[in-house]
Amino acid sequence: MREANITTSIDIDPRLARRVKLSDGALITRMLNISEGLEDVIRLGRGDPDLDTPEHIIRAGQNALENGATHYTHPQGIEPLRAAIAENIRANGGADYGADEVMITPGGQQGMFIIALSLLDPGDEIIVPCPAYNPYQQAAEMSDAVVVKIPMTMETNFTLTAEMIEPHITERSKILVLINPNNPTGTVTPPDEVRKIAELARKHDLILVSDEIYARLTFGNSTAIAVAALPGMRERTITLSGFSKAYAMTGWRVGYLAGPRELIAPMSEVNHAFAISTAAVSQHAALAALTGPQDCVEEMRQTYDARRQAICDGLDAMGMGYAEPQGAFYVYANVASLGLGITASAFCERLLAEGRVMVFPGIMYGDHTDDFVRMSMTQPVDRINTAMDRMASVVESYRAEMRAPAD
Ligand code: PLP
């Protein structure tokens, strides 16, 4: 159980960062600055599992290094890994891909940039749900594309619906992004709604980027279906996924894109230009992850499920609402529901300074309200329980201030 150490408190001259919006980064920096002088901070902020990569995967990486996996690989990735991914997608009810229709990337996140830089011309529109994992937006902005945001709300448990998307489709719409399960909301778009969204993509001739990186981490009856396997979707879907979440492999930096040859081939050129190839050692470890025992994924899923329960119990006890967490490892909690008249970002800062608990405000993920915070299930249950007690004390001190007679 380790926590990566990050220090990003650099002041960047906005003129030097023409293509990157600095506002989101500035918020993280402020939170990190507050936490710097504090002891015993419980970090429920970043989406980086505290769980270690399973032993057999680490061993496979070590063996690969000893056996010479120290060179560039084929730009699209080693063939056995691409074949194993294609097989794994098929076995899990996804589309039928050849190994040449899979491309290994240094993390799923780089996959987003490869997609944007390969497929978006200036002025093209990319439809992105909000709140959502924001590199999609950054990648689109770097391509001078127009980001069309679809605000999601509690009304649909923060899931995207075809009805919400359709009015935003124009002549310039090119890509529609679906992230299922979603980050930061931890919600799952129901299969019937996914079918309607796919139908919309077909009707309007859109490319659907389906981010399924959390698809193996769902709870209760929720399932995130594979979009590319739906009728008529294989040719217009790029599935983005990776090993970071299901196998606790964030630091290995290995993800993938799967899609039809015509789309993967040009993207492979961009991937080569960016990175030449994904680290050979990480690819061999990913191969062991896919072809080795899978109980570790289920064990981790159950661990997150218990943590999810602990967070929800804590929120229930303090009377704080939240979106029903159905997948990934986040709970999206509603600060506004406390009726304290404060923003979620102000709450985050005070919770950190006073309660030594780090969570991130939803506005960091493009939420159109400053009402919600994202809580990551990235600490053991006992630490989560302590975090929830500390959070309840901060809420109580807000309530006491409200009750205090004005001078
Ligand atoms: N997609 C989503 C929705 C994510 O939340 C993340 C990381 O948090 C990624 C993709 C990228 O993960 P990685 O680059 O570690 O594969």
Beta carbons of 213 and 234 less than 8 angstroms apart? no
Distance 50 CA to ligand 1 centre (A): 15
Question: pLDDT band for position 35 (50/70/90)?
Answer: confident
Distance 370 CA to ligand 1 centre (A): 23
CA distance linking residue 212 with residue 209, whole number of Å: 9
- Whether the per-residue pLDDT at 384 is higher than 80: the answer is yes
Whole-number percent of the chain with pLDDT over 70: 93
Beta carbons of 252 and 53 less than 8 angstroms apart? yes
Give the end-to-end CA distance of the chain in Å, rounded to a whole number.
48
Q: Give the residue-averaged pLDDT of 397-404.
A: 91
- Whether the per-residue pLDDT at 23 is higher than 60: the answer is no
Which residues have a Cβ under 8 Å from the Cβ of 386 and sit 6 or more positions away? 42
> What is the pLDDT of the chain when averaged over all its residues?
93
Q: How high is the pLDDT of residue 54? A: 98
Whole-structure pTM value: 0.93
- Whether the per-residue pLDDT at 406 is higher than 90: the answer is no
Distance 213 CA to ligand 1 centre (A): 7
Ligand 1 in reach of 278 Cβ (< 6 A): no
Q: Give the residue-averaged pLDDT of 256-284.
A: 96
Q: What is the pLDDT of residues 186-220, one digit of tens each?
A: 999 999 999 999 999 999 999 999 999 999 999 99
Of 17-21, 41-45, 399-403, the poorest mean pLDDT is in: 17-21
Ligand 1 in reach of 179 Cβ (< 6 A): yes
Q: How high is the pLDDT of residue 5? A: 36
User: Tell me, what amino acid is at 144?
Assistant: D
Distance 308 CA to ligand 1 centre (A): 19
